[in-house]
Chain A
Amino acid sequence: MEEVRLMKGNEAIAEAAIRCGCDGYFGYPITPQSEIMETMMAIAPWNTTGMVVLQAESELASINMVFGAAGCGKRAMTSSSSPGVSLMQEGISDLACAELPCVLVNVMRGGPGIGTIQASQADYYQSVKGGGHGDYKMIVLAPASVQEMADHTVLAFDLAFQYRIPTMILTDGIIGQMMEKAILPPFRPRLTNDEIREKYPWATLGKTADRAPNYILTLELYSEDMEIINLRLQANYKRIQEAEVRYEEFSCEDADYLIIAFGTSARISQKVVELAREEGIKVGLLRPITLFPFPTNEIKAYASQVKAMLTVELNAGQMVDDVRLAVNGQVPVEHYGRLGGIIPTPDEVLEAMKRLIVNK
């Protein structure tokens, strides 16, 4: 029987991780995501599934603990919020280079700097364009409900291991803190070391007599070798772009105008679509669920249907760049956003939409 609970988005991530066979969580407290580790510590999964939950001394330590665990083929994760994720960037670059699967959660808050503890989407660039040094990407999922916080946790582990890539759940303080009902995923046992050896022959579980030693490395002295690694990564990103784009459409069939928004902004924009249609303005919403891979082709297709597009983001205009690249000047693309942790109301977004694209 499925288990339905009223819970916070952060709690849903913790519950789903334990249920989907996560081996290790390593984290450091930071608002607005501390409930993830608190929930895990309260559940104490080491008594049931054997999962390790450890509070590290810093985000530097926690991301590198994730590296160590992932290098052993274990399902490892960490979570943090914007400043903490900035601190992790070297480790994320290393994870990407070593092609280690893992799940990272960023419950975004307003920046820059220590910033605010209120919700923001200002880490879009950092998440989808690499963030740390070198040419790399992560798969980035953008949940818009507590249900998706749970579902995306399971999906993130599956995609991470399918493509051997760090996968980020990019969410914000609203989705993390708000309570909704969620259907929890079924329990899935953790893999045994023998199963890991079979499924992930690269894992450092100890060199047995039948194989050469395994190395989890991020250093190559020779440019020729480093280029080979880079080309392999880029080929993987291309495969992901081709196969894993996820998005949701809302009232798009007859739309004259298209809003593109993810996460919390998409929840607000869904109401904007309703309000606009009450006034006779035919607006649709396209909600990217994967931010990398980005639904470029799907957005491009709407450029021959709609008169203009608007991105609604809790930032100064980041995803709007990717939408403009997708439509390549075919229709006007504008951005509306509030900064520093302020959440706009649907009415405010509707007025902005009229000003920026409808009555222009």
Chain B
Amino acid sequence: MTLNDIIDPKNLVYAKTKVMNDTPMHYCPGCSHSVVHKLIAEVIEELDIQDKTIGIAPVGCAVFGYKYIDIDWQQAAHGRAPSLATAVKRLLPDRYVFTYQGDGDLAAIGTAETIHTCNRGENIAIFFINNGIYGMTGGQMAPTTLNGMKSTTSPSGRTVPLSGHPLDMTKLLAQLDGTCYVTRQSVHNIANIRKTKKAIKKALENSMLDKGTSVVEIVSTCSAGWNMTPADSNNWMEQNMIPAYPLGDMKDI
């Protein structure tokens, strides 16, 4: 096969989804956000819902989600994305509405909004990126930071006496009667990327079935915040994050 054969469109084996635009991403090498963005965009294309989907961006690295996924977006104040999504979905019940939030946004400052939105069973999808750190502000301790894990605000490692226990928000949300689908996934290898895509699709489909809130947590890397290479981040996540935040469905009604 020559170079010309390889670039011949009829030999194409992979194409970027049209719902993803060509803007160069600001995400760091090795960051999970870019993979999750791509999966959401692919699912939107496959479900053919680009004109019916409204994304709610958080405060955090994914605040710029609107630059990459070619749909209508609103940008929420820190932690309040579920409140915006609640109103959008209630007023536009035939639209697909999702929030995209990090652990600081969803499990610290937005805890009340997250719990009450899920408890009301709003028919939205919540995509929750858990990398155990505040990425955008430069690597501070998050509610999901593991015990012993170093951050710029826990330079000797997180301790329970000072900061309490890591918060397993997703487990908590699975207990609420308003949620219909609660799952924890990751995107650190091909098999898990495929599972995450299925979960994203199911969550968006659920939002039209009047079943309640779907929550997809994606255990993620933050190579810059963790001070690791992309490859080391993946390994570290597999060895440390996933044992603390085990993958799989917690609820599927």
Query: Do the beta carbons of B87 and A206 come within 8 Å of each other?
Result: no
Do B92 and A193 touch across chains, with their CB atoms under 8 A apart? yes
Q: How many residues of A contact B (CB 8 A)?
A: 38
- In-complex Cβ contact of B54 among A54, A57, A206 (8 A): A206
Q: A207-B71, A215-B66 are in contact. Are A61 and B83 (CB under 8 A)?
A: yes
In the complex, the answer to whether B88 meets A204 with C-beta atoms within 8 Å is: yes
Collect the chain B residues with CB atoms within 8 Å of residue A65's CB. Answer: 83-84, 86-87
Most buried by A among B56, B83, B95, B113: B83
Contacts A65-B83, A65-B84, A69-B87; A205 near B66 (Cβ below 8 A):
no
**A215 B75 Cβ-Cβ under 8 A:** yes
**Interface residue? A67 (CB, 8 A):** yes
Chain B residues lying within 8 Å of A219, measured Cβ to Cβ, are: 59, 63, 75
Contact residue among A57, A68, A213, A216 (Cβ-Cβ distance under 8 Å from B116): A57
Q: Report which residue of B72, B80, B86, B88 has the largest number of chain A beta carbons within 10 angstroms of its beta carbon.
A: B72
Chain B residues lying within 8 Å of A66, measured Cβ to Cβ, are: 87
Q: A60-B80, A68-B86, A72-B88 are in contact. Are A205 and B72 (CB under 8 A)?
A: yes
A residues 200-259 touching B (CB-CB < 8 Å): 204-209, 213-219
Q: What residues of chain A lie closer than 8 Å to B194, measured between beta carbons?
A: none
Total contacts A to B, CB within 8 angstroms?
123
Structural contact, B50 and A207, CB atoms closer than 8 A: yes
Given the interface contacts A60-B80, A74-B91, A208-B51, does A68 sit within 8 Å of B56 by beta carbon?
Answer: yes
A207 to B112, CA, bound (A): 30
Chain A interface, DSSP helix/strand/loop, else mixed: mixed
- Please tell me if the beta carbons of A71 and B77 are within 8 angstroms of each other in the complex: no
Residues 60-103 of chain A, each 1 if its beta carbon lies under 8 Å from chain B, else 0: 11101111110110101000000000000011001000000000
Q: A205-B92, A206-B52 are in contact. Are A64 and B77 (CB under 8 A)?
A: yes
In the assembled complex, the Cα of A72 lies from the Cα of B200 at a distance in Å of: 24
Checking A58, A68, A76, A207 against B72 with a beta-carbon cut-off of 8 angstroms, the contacting residue is A207
User: Which residues from 49 to 95 on chain B have a C-beta closer than 8 Å to any C-beta of chain A?
Assistant: 50-54, 56, 59, 63, 66, 70-77, 80, 83-88, 90-92, 95
Instruction: Please measure, in the bound complex, the distance between the C-alpha atom of A219 and the C-alpha atom of B26, giving whole angstroms.
Output: 15
**Complex Cα distance A24/B90, Å?**
9
Cross-chain contact A71 with B86 (CB below 8 angstroms): no
The answer to whether B77 touches A90 (Cβ under 8 A) is yes
CA distance A61 to B87 in the complex (A): 10
**Bound-complex Cα distance A91 to B81 (A):** 12
* Docked pose: A103 CA to B95 CA in angstroms: 24
- Measured between beta carbons, the chain B residues less than 8 angstroms from A91 are 77, 80
CA distance A209 to B71 in the complex (A): 10
Q: Does A23 contact B (CB under 8 A)?
A: yes
B79 closest partner in A (C-beta): A60
Contact status B91-A24, CB under 8 Å? yes
4 further contact pairs, Cβ within 8 A, besides A24-B90, A52-B87: A23-B91, A74-B87, A206-B92, A214-B73
List the interface of chain B (C-beta within 8 A of A).
50-54, 56, 59, 63, 66, 70-77, 80, 83-88, 90-92, 95, 112-113, 116
**Sample of 25 A–B contacts (CB below 8 Å):** A52-B90, A54-B87, A58-B112, A60-B80, A60-B113, A61-B113, A61-B116, A62-B83, A64-B80, A64-B84, A65-B84, A66-B87, A67-B76, A68-B74, A69-B91, A72-B88, A72-B91, A204-B54, A206-B95, A207-B70, A213-B72, A213-B73, A215-B75, A216-B73, A216-B74
